[in-house]
Chain A
């Protein structure tokens, strides 16, 4: 169940990416945060409690929205534009819970 609901840009160009290996479609103009949360309700899991997190401030201050790419690279989802072919992993950190 998505957390965010798109009100505009519904017919913007499609950007393909994956969440935990599942193919997804974002829209041109999406941040990574928007693209992921229009499909699901979490960006990552706390490395301490394993609880899901989905961002908070959306302005690059709280650092709650870090997501991991399959390559291991971490990026701040609220300030990073979605790019074609991103492979986003939300499940890491879960097993430590």
Chain B
């Protein structure tokens, strides 16, 4: 048998790590590329150097999971070709272009598992570019990985389970948390009753966090709208509305996010078919229950395929790896695969209930003021977008991108894409699923112009 190229796993978070372990157990030596300097992904992100805190202090209730995952991956040692600090910027046929330390390297692979994770989903707010405003995930990373607080008196705003978790972690770290401003109304929280029997520990922990915050003097406010961040050159206060009344809270740091959004650019470059997902209000790559995408040899796992959380990501990573093994004609543990799928279905039901308890504030898209920056990269306002939509009778986000450059900047639409679609849908009276999706283009992350090709690549590239 001719020697086959190794499988490639993109991402070393919960999904990527479990996928790698499964492939190694079957005798393969996968390549794992990851932008992080250490494994764990964003959820179990490690510090750059030891900082005197143990796993319990860093990860709280998730300490055992974080420790196990990081230890398991480290134990693989040289059985994986692990490449940290490595950025994926292009995918074509059976090769991937990666970048490390300014050197681009083409990786030939046979089988591709995309475990690209998620980032915070955001909608623009007035003042959201002011220094001191971070995403919820960013605020958490500052605390968890860098041991820094984003302010001395902070406010967390938006929606999603992370809203309360990050606020609680800041409180526990001794930081004054002035308020938690939740976009979801009390009525939405009734969905937690549906989640309770599925995962009582998770739901009760969340409720306990909210209660502890309130007991600590944090103002916990549901059903907020009209968020506006103000300050001269940096955050000074946050303004919001409840029940038609305006309120302002002085603060010097703000964490903001509206749940999470999947990182799908790599799946797009790999040629995967996409479908609109009403729950996540996003176009997501199509996959079956095993994680197989529409493209042979390309598998999808974890939050990068659809938001389901870290526990589901571990299961889905292992499941996708078993599918790869099966397609390669190797032993693939069908009973184990079936068990993983059953557990994923159960977690999926829990996630549906959580998403309902923290619904996306759909009307915010229509409410964005014209002078609010929509695109942080190139300072394009919501008004600029609305004028272009009207002037050119636009109905598709890619046309909007071509005309206004929204989604064309350095973030490639990661921060503004959801907002651009919501705004376009609102203005044209279309369903959010009917305005198209921003198509990914290489490079999917900025690469230096002075990038050099590795010796390895020059040898392999037929163009040289």
Contact = CB atoms under 8 A, between A and B. Distances in A.
Contacts of A30: 48, 146
A8 B150 contact: no
A59 B134 CA distance: 11
B415 interface: yes
Contact of A41 (B147, B233, B445): B233
A14 B209 CA distance: 36
Nearest to A74: B448
A29 B50 CA distance: 8
Nearest to B416: A62
A79 to B, nearest CB: 7
A41 B151 contact: no
A55 B383 CA distance: 24
Interface footprint category on B: 35 or more
Contacts of A48: 378-379
Contacts of A66: 410
Nearest to B252: A3
Nearest to A73: B448
B48 A29 contact: yes
Contact of B411 (A3, A8, A49, A62): A62
Interface residues of A, number: 41
Interface string A44-55: 001011011111
A52 B235 CA distance: 11
A79 B376 CA distance: 19
Sort A-B residue pairs by CB-CB distance and give the 4 closest, nearest first: A54-B131, A8-B147, A58-B138, A63-B410
Interface of B: 35-37, 42, 47-53, 119-120, 129, 131-135, 137-139, 141-143, 146-152, 173-175, 233-234, 253, 263, 376-379, 409-411, 414-415, 445-446, 448
Interface of A: 1, 3-9, 12, 28-31, 34, 37-38, 41-42, 46, 48-49, 51-64, 66, 74, 76, 78-79, 81
